[in-house]
């Protein structure tokens, strides 16, 4: 999908489990970064249950983006999850992955 540079747009953020099945908004901390270039990112953060730069609309996490702040090109999403797990020395299982969103800012 192409979005014109300087256009505002909405992204509905979904989460999946290890089997790639949809789940609700997790109760642990996370940071989701949307970017074309790494020097300019749009971040959605949940820390201690407080969401920054996002809203819950009808049970779905939504963020509103001004494309003009990201530059032109392919929009990527980097997700960093901080899952409580006592098996790890710091008590947190960190999972980070990156993917292309299917959105091109033109």
Please tell me the least confidently modeled range out of 14-18, 69-73, 87-91.
Answer: 14-18
Q: Residue 38's domain spans which residues?
A: 2-105
In CATH, what number is assigned to the domain containing residue 66?
A: 2.60.40
pLDDT in tens, 10-59: 999 988 877 888 888 999 999 999 999 878 899 999 999 999 999 999 88
Query: Residue 36 burial by CB count (10 A; 0-12/13-18/19+): exposed, middle or buried?
Result: buried
Tell me the pTM: 0.88
Q: Specify the number of domains making up the chain.
A: 1
Percent of the chain's residues with pLDDT above 70? 100
Q: How confident is the model at residue 57, as a pLDDT?
A: 92
The torsion defined by the Cα of 42, 48, 50 and 51, in degrees rounded to 10, comes to 30
Residue 52 to residue 42: CA distance in whole angstroms: 11
pLDDT top residue among 6 and 44 = 44
Strand 29-35 and strand 73-84: the pairing is: antiparallel
Residues 6+ apart with CB under 8 A from 86: none
């Amino acid at each position: 999908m192409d979005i014109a540079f300087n256009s505002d747009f909405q992204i509905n953020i979904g989460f999946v489990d290890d089997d790639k099945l949809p789940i609700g908004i997790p109760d642990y901390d996370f940071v989701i970064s949307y970017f074309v270039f790494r020097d300019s990112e749009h971040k959605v953060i949940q820390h201690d249950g407080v969401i920054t730069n996002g809203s819950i609309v009808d049970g779905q996490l939504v963020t509103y983006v001004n494309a003009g702040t990201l530059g032109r090109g392919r929009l990527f999403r980097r997700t960093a999850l901080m899952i409580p797990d006592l098996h790890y020395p710091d008590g947190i299982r960190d999972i980070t992955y990156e993917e292309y969103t299917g959105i091109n800012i033109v």
